[in-house]
Amino acid sequence: MNLKGRMWVIGGLFAFIAVVFIGRLAQLQLGSPEWTDYAARLTESRETLDAARGLIYDRNGQLLVTNQASYDLLYTPRLAREGMDTAAFAALLGWKREALEAAFAKADAYASYRPSIIVRQLPAAEYARISGELWRFPGVKERTRAVRSNQAGLAAQLIGSFGETSADDLKNDAFYRLGDYKGKSGLELQYERELRGRKGVRYHLVDVRNNYQLPLEGGRRDTLAVAGADLTLTLDRDLQAYAERLMAGKRGSVVAIEPATGEVLALVSAPTYDPDLLIGPKRSAHYDSLLHNPGQPLYNRALRGTYRPGSIFKMVQGLIALDEGAIRTNTRIPCDRNIIGCHGPHSYDNLSEAIVHSCNPYFHEVMKRMVQARRSNNLFEDAALGLGNWTERIKRFGFGTDLGGQLPGVRPGSVPDTTYYNGIYGQRSWAFSTIYSIAIGEGELLTTPLQMANLAATIGNRGWYRTPHAVRDVGGRGKPLGVDSLVTTGVDPELFDPVISAMQQVVEGVGGTGRRARTPGISICGKTGTVQNTNALEHSVFMAFAPMDNPQIALSVYVENAGSGGSWAAPIAAQLIESYLADSLSNPEREARILAARDPFPETP
């Protein structure tokens, strides 16, 4: 037996095994990227650097909204396996032990090795109280997170809320990761892209315990976070604060606009709420209670509330009628109270007087002349043509439109047109006699407080307005393009004289309905409105601009269920105008009367 040959068997086996190993190496290292990917998942970690959100200032550079630190408490079940004193931790947090155990169980069910949030948005003061004790609870650590802080608690509905992203947000915008915060409503939502900035990213190599070690690839792929753009609003912080103070305890709204620019100086929807209620661990409880509050504090009445315009609308009717040639400034019309009811001692007014006296028969006749203008011999056809023309003219005043849509959540109200009446009564089966109630601002006509303030600005400007907007500057780049487009009503500026002098008479004239707005040294032009309600007190409405020549401020004030326009809305408007235009307030009694008033208002004006 030649055993020497067996060396080939043994050597061959050695070589065979070497070939198997090299083949296996090729499979692992040169085959699919499976193991490379797996190793990268294990050893690489992507850290997102949150960008500082842009701050919000008022028109004078006063801070309105800033960021503040809050703290989430995270809990990693695996790290807490031994030594978690649940009772002590619950006591520290001021929770029930069962609640904490339930939160722990939920976190454990989600992932035992990954941190879950168990307490959200602890304010700094609360965190400071417990931070010294946290080391006693393994598996619990804190994470700092910036939340919004509305410094003076102003303009809650306009500025809007800031909160955790929803499932839809995550789906629609790849920018967000689970747990990110974003603007949820108002300007915070409208300018979310500008405010949020750009996230940075840092790639790390991590060790087996997921601690960051070295930067990946020397940090070549890392990017810095870019802070969001600051917003400068058109609001005047002092005016806004004063308006909110005057509206406290009432339902309604204030919208103040700078007529020359369309900039919104103040925008109040009352009742309002403290924006800080929607931040912090009790956010959802607070949100629920606000949502179910009968005063509907979350509802922005100034932009979304729709009211019948009432007698304020008569000025628009007069202006269009003048421009259409249906009347002239000296046209007098008898106050025939058989056609439609009226009030006050007058019988044969011209336009100015009719506005001052709010004469219903006058504007009934005016509207009739505009609608039944004999464009056709058929009565119904004539009505349809006349109303069509009238609707177009009305819309140029901003009624039935969103006024450029620059304000968040703004609604158009409604202006009934031929299509609308055709839908109700059928084509060629309605005439002016069917629809006459819109002549005096009642009926199907619905307008918003913003549209009323804009009307005041338009009249003050004698026939044009700039679309109302709330943002002056974004990140130092100036006003966003197109927020203040010029809109003209097409009414000859000369024709505004009788209307403006009538508005001055409303405030200054003997027995004027707006006499409570009279303010020494400032010539205020205004018009009261009283919106009828069934089974409730009227809404008190006042719209005004001042000073008469070169107006600086135009506004509308709505106080719901408070009585006539002159009783509450007019004095509130006057206080605001004075506080904006003058150095000091001249009428402390008037202010005291307003501050003392509370909803519900007594029956007598």
Partner 1 sequence: MSRRLQIRNRLDWFTMMLVAAIAVLGWLNIASATAGSEAVDWLTFDGKGGKQLLWLGVCTLIAFLVLNVEGEFFVRISILSYLSLLVVLAAVLVFGKVIGGARSWFAFGSFSLQPSEFAKSTTALMLAWLLSRGDGKLRDLKTRLQSIAIVGLPAGLVLLQPDAGTVLVFGGFVFALYREGLSGNVLVVAFAALVVAVATILSGAGTVAYPFFGPATGVYVLWAVLAGGGGLVLWFLVQSSLPRERKRLKRIGAVAILGALVFSGAMQFGLEKVLAKHQRERIHVLFGLDVGNPDADYNIRHAKAAIGSGGWSGKGYMNGPMTAYAFVPEQETDFIFCTVGEEWGFLGSTAVILLYLTLLLRLIYLAERQRSNFTRVYGYGVASVLFMHVLINVGMVLGLAPVIGIPLPLFSYGGSSLMGFTVLIFILLRLDAERFSVLR
Our CB check for partner 1 shows the closer of 39 and 105 to be 39
- Here the tokens at position 98 are 């069962």
The reply on whether position 110 binds partner 1 by CB under 8 A is no
Report d(CA 539, CA 251) in Å as an integer.
10
**Considering the complex, what minimum distance in angstroms separates the CB of residue 75 from partner 1?**
22
**Considering the complex, what minimum distance in angstroms separates the CB of residue 46 from partner 1?**
14
Our CB check for partner 1 shows the closer of 14 and 135 to be 14
- Here the tokens at position 366 are 């005016």
The reply on whether position 3 binds partner 1 by CB under 8 A is yes
Bridge partners for 263 per DSSP: 258, 469
Our CB check for partner 1 shows the closer of 20 and 592 to be 20
Show contacts with partner 1 in window 148-207 (CB under 8 A).
205-207
Among 38, 282, 328, 532, indicate the residue that binds partner 1 (CB under 8 A): 38
Our CB check for partner 1 shows the closer of 38 and 348 to be 38
Our CB check for partner 1 shows the closer of 30 and 125 to be 30
The reply on whether position 22 binds partner 1 by CB under 8 A is yes
Among 21, 91, 97, 348, indicate the residue that binds partner 1 (CB under 8 A): 21
- Among 267, 266, 269, 268, which residue's Cα sits nearest to residue 295? 269
Our CB check for partner 1 shows the closer of 99 and 214 to be 214
**CA atoms 279, 284, 290, 296: torsion sign:** positive
Torsion of CA 408, 260, 454, 595, to 10 degrees: 90
- Among 498, 188, 146, 222, which residue's Cα sits nearest to residue 355? 498
Our CB check for partner 1 shows the closer of 37 and 288 to be 37
Our CB check for partner 1 shows the closer of 43 and 67 to be 43
**Considering the complex, what minimum distance in angstroms separates the CB of residue 274 from partner 1?**
49
**Considering the complex, what minimum distance in angstroms separates the CB of residue 2 from partner 1?**
11
The reply on whether position 1 binds partner 1 by CB under 8 A is yes
Contacting residues for 528 by C-beta, under 8 A, at least 6 apart: 311, 312, 358, 506, 513, 514, 541, 542, 564, 565, 566, 569, 570
The reply on whether position 36 binds partner 1 by CB under 8 A is yes
**Considering the complex, what minimum distance in angstroms separates the CB of residue 23 from partner 1?**
10
**Considering the complex, what minimum distance in angstroms separates the CB of residue 6 from partner 1?**
5
Q: Which one of the spans 18-26, 181-189, 466-474, 535-543 is the region binding partner 1 (CB under 8 A)?
A: 18-26
Q: Say how many C-beta atoms besides its own lie within 10 A of residue 100's C-beta.
A: 21
Instruction: Give me the long-range contacts of 41-47 (CB less than 8 A, separation at least 24).
Output: 43/205, 43/206, 44/203, 44/204, 44/205, 44/206, 44/216, 45/203, 45/204, 45/205, 45/206, 45/210, 45/212, 46/201, 46/202, 46/203, 46/204, 47/201, 47/202, 47/203, 47/204, 47/212
Among 167, 174, 208, 481, indicate the residue that binds partner 1 (CB under 8 A): 208
Our CB check for partner 1 shows the closer of 182 and 204 to be 204
The reply on whether position 348 binds partner 1 by CB under 8 A is no
- Here the tokens at position 210 are 């997921």
Q: Which one of the spans 101-109, 208-216, 482-490, 542-550 is the region binding partner 1 (CB under 8 A)?
A: 208-216
Our CB check for partner 1 shows the closer of 35 and 348 to be 35
The reply on whether position 213 binds partner 1 by CB under 8 A is yes
| Interface pattern 553-582 for partner 1 (x via CB under 8 A) | ------------------------------
The reply on whether position 220 binds partner 1 by CB under 8 A is no
The reply on whether position 114 binds partner 1 by CB under 8 A is no
Our CB check for partner 1 shows the closer of 11 and 249 to be 11
Residue 588 three-state SS: helix
For residue 283, give Cα distances in angstroms to 122, 125, 157, 278.
Answer: 11, 17, 16, 5
The reply on whether position 214 binds partner 1 by CB under 8 A is yes
**Considering the complex, what minimum distance in angstroms separates the CB of residue 1 from partner 1?**
7
**Considering the complex, what minimum distance in angstroms separates the CB of residue 18 from partner 1?**
4
**Considering the complex, what minimum distance in angstroms separates the CB of residue 113 from partner 1?**
11
**CA atoms 163, 167, 171, 175: torsion sign:** positive
Please spell the DSSP secondary structure of 350-413, one letter per residue: -HHHHHHHT-HHHHHHHHHHHHSSSSSSSHHHHHHHHHHHHHHHHHTTTTTS-TTS-STT----
Backbone φ and ψ for 294, nearest 5 degrees, come out as: -60, -25
**Considering the complex, what minimum distance in angstroms separates the CB of residue 216 from partner 1?**
8
Report d(CA 249, CA 600) in Å as an integer.
9
Contacting residues for 360 by C-beta, under 8 A, at least 6 apart: 340, 341, 342, 440
Containing 34, the helix (H) or strand (E) segment is helix 34-43
| Interface pattern 42-71 for partner 1 (x via CB under 8 A) | xxx---------------------------
Report d(CA 558, CA 270) in Å as an integer.
10
The reply on whether position 418 binds partner 1 by CB under 8 A is no
Please spell the DSSP secondary structure of 441-505, one letter per residue: T-TT-BB-HHHHHHHHHHHHTTSEEEPPBSEEEETTS-SPTTTT-EEE----GGGHHHHHHHHHH
- Here the tokens at position 472 are 């002056």
Q: Which one of the spans 13-21, 170-178, 303-311, 580-588 is the region binding partner 1 (CB under 8 A)?
A: 13-21
**Considering the complex, what minimum distance in angstroms separates the CB of residue 301 from partner 1?**
57
Q: Which bin fits 368, alpha (ψ -120 to 50), beta or left (φ > 0)?
A: alpha
Our CB check for partner 1 shows the closer of 30 and 174 to be 30
Our CB check for partner 1 shows the closer of 3 and 174 to be 3
Our CB check for partner 1 shows the closer of 110 and 348 to be 110
Show contacts with partner 1 in window 284-303 (CB under 8 A).
none
Binding region for partner 1 (CB under 8 A):
1, 3-4, 6-7, 9-11, 13-15, 17-18, 20-22, 24-26, 28-30, 34-36, 38-40, 42-44, 205-208, 213-214
